[in-house]
């Protein structure tokens, strides 16, 4: 919980003034408050004004690093795994890789240099993939950027945190509690001991559930590989996460104030993967693997990684440096989780 939130107001700079004005108008039109999900959607995705429209968020000149920005090793490992997935399905001629939120196609280029024969398509996060897919649907840090609802236990009951205008001169927006905006939140929070969690604040990503269901509907046969920040349910709702997982990124620094630099900083929340697995299971997706990124890459890239460590033993090399960043537990290796789900052909009887 930020110091500014404790005081009921939020620090400057407020961000893009035109976007702030649009959000203010949205609050006024809604009767004085909007859900945090709506605020986050406007801050990140507003046409022409949102963060992802205007900022170069990735790499040295952006706000954060990703697996892709580390170098091409990530794509080279994935390329070999995509080929294994194709082989496991019997090498169907219509096998394709569909990547959601492809960051200008950098990962696609890395993969295709290693496996030029793959049919690889990038679809933007808001885009529409083909209706019938045989192959692998892949995403890297996609679900953590979906707008989320914010909830808190108040007087022993779960309440939603809404965004409203602040009352102080230097305060643009603030959060106020109210009733849950949809019964879907009640369903997701069922089973948590609210009477023991006074003040506990967390985020609920309903859009991730909708996304995995829609993906499963379009996938006739193949795999869904999801790489993201996150935890299983027990880890996500652990007592030490009583302030939630919401983080903002600006010029390679992290903060917890979503009402600063609106439209100029990233806003994310970790993924609660157990619900993604459960939602997938309901629509025919079997969980094949859920693990840290280090375990996934060490298993999938074993041959390539052995080649690198043998070739570059005892000396620094770009590939050894990239490998270190991708699998070291204090860097990306433990922070990122990988969920692999599989759907068998609806006509196979399996």
Q: What is the pLDDT of residues 131-159, one digit of tens each?
A: 999 999 999 999 999 999 999 999 999 99
3 pLDDT higher than 50: no
Is 181 inside a domain boundary? Answer: no
The verdict on residue 299 lying in a domain is: yes
Residue 309 covered by a domain: yes
State what percent of residues in the chain have pLDDT above 70: 88
Give the angle subtended at the CA of 297 by the CAs of 141 and 134, to the nearest 5°: 65
Q: What is the CATH number of the domain that holds 143?
A: 3.40.50.12710
105 found inside a domain: yes
Work out the mean pLDDT of the chain and round it to a whole number.
88
Residue 139's DSSP bridge partners are 100, 226
CA distance 224 to 342: 6
pLDDT at 276: 97
Bridge-based pairing of strands 149-154 and 133-140 is unpaired
Residue 124: inside a domain, yes or no?
yes
Say how many domains are in the chain. 1
Question: E strands of 68-148, at which residues?
Answer: 95-100, 120-123, 133-140
39 in a structural domain? no
Within 10 Å of residue 166's Cβ, how many Cβ atoms? 16
User: Which of 25-39, 207-221, 323-337 is the least confident region?
Assistant: 323-337
Three-class SS of residue 161? strand
Angle at 319 between CA 313 and CA 324, to 5 degrees: 85
Residue range(s) defining the domain that contains residue 69: 60-148+205-342
Residue 191 lies in a domain: no
pTM of the model: 0.88
List phi, psi (to 5°) of 35.
-65, 155
Contact 156, 194 (CB under 8 A): yes
Task: List strand residue ranges (DSSP E) for the chain, in order.
Answer: 34-35, 95-100, 120-123, 133-140, 149-154, 157-165, 173-178, 201-204, 219-231, 247-250, 253-255, 266-268, 271-272, 286-292, 336-343
| Chain centroid to CA 181 | 23
Alpha-carbon gap, residue 286 to 280, rounded angstroms: 7
**Alpha carbon 310 to its chain's center:** 34
The structure tokens listed for 275 are 């619900």
**Within-domain flag for 108:** yes
At residue 350, the pLDDT reads 33
Rounded Cα gap, residues 91 and 349, in angstroms: 19
Rounded average pLDDT over 300-313: 84
Q: Residue 134 in contact with residue 220, Cβ under 8 Å?
A: yes
């Amino acid at each position: 919980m930020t110091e500014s939130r404790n005081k009921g107001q939020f620090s400057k700079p407020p961000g893009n003034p035109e976007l702030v004005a649009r959000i203010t108008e949205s609050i006024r039109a809604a009767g004085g408050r909007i859900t945090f999900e709506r605020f986050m959607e406007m801050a990140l995705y507003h046409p022409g004004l949102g963060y992802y429209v205007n900022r170069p968020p990735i790499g040295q000149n952006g706000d954060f690093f990703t697996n892709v920005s580390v170098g091409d090793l990530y794509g080279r490992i994935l390329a070999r795994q995509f080929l294994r997935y194709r082989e496991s399905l019997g090498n169907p001629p219509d096998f394709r890789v569909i990547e959601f939120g492809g960051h200008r196609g950098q990962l696609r280029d890395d993969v295709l240099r290693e496996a030029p024969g793959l049919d690889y398509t990038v679809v933007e996060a808001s885009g529409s993939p083909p209706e019938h897919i045989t192959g692998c649907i892949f995403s890297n840090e996609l679900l953590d950027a979906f707008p989320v609802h914010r909830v808190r236990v108040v007087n022993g009951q779960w309440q939603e945190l809404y965004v409203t205008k602040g009352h102080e001169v230097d305060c643009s927006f603030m959060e106020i509690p109210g009733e849950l905006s949809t019964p879907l939140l009640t369903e997701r929070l069922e089973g948590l001991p609210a009477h023991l969690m006074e003040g506990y604040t967390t985020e609920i990503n309903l859009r991730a559930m909708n996304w995995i269901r829609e993906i499963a509907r379009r996938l006739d046969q193949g795999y869904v590989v999801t790489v993201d920040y996150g935890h299983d349910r027990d880890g996500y709702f652990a007592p030490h996460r009583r302030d939630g997982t919401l983080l903002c990124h600006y010029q390679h620094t992290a903060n917890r104030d979503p009402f600063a630099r609106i439209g100029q900083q990233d806003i994310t929340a970790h993924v609660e993967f157990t619900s993604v697995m459960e939602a997938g299971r309901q629509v025919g997706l079997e969980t094949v693997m859920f693990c840290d990124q280090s375990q996934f890459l060490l298993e999938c890239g074993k041959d390539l990684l052995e080649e690198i460590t043998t070739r570059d033993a005892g000396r620094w090399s770009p590939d050894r440096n990239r490998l270190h960043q991708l699998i070291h537990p204090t860097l990306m290796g433990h922070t990122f989780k990988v969920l692999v789900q599989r759907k068998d052909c609806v006509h196979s009887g399996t």
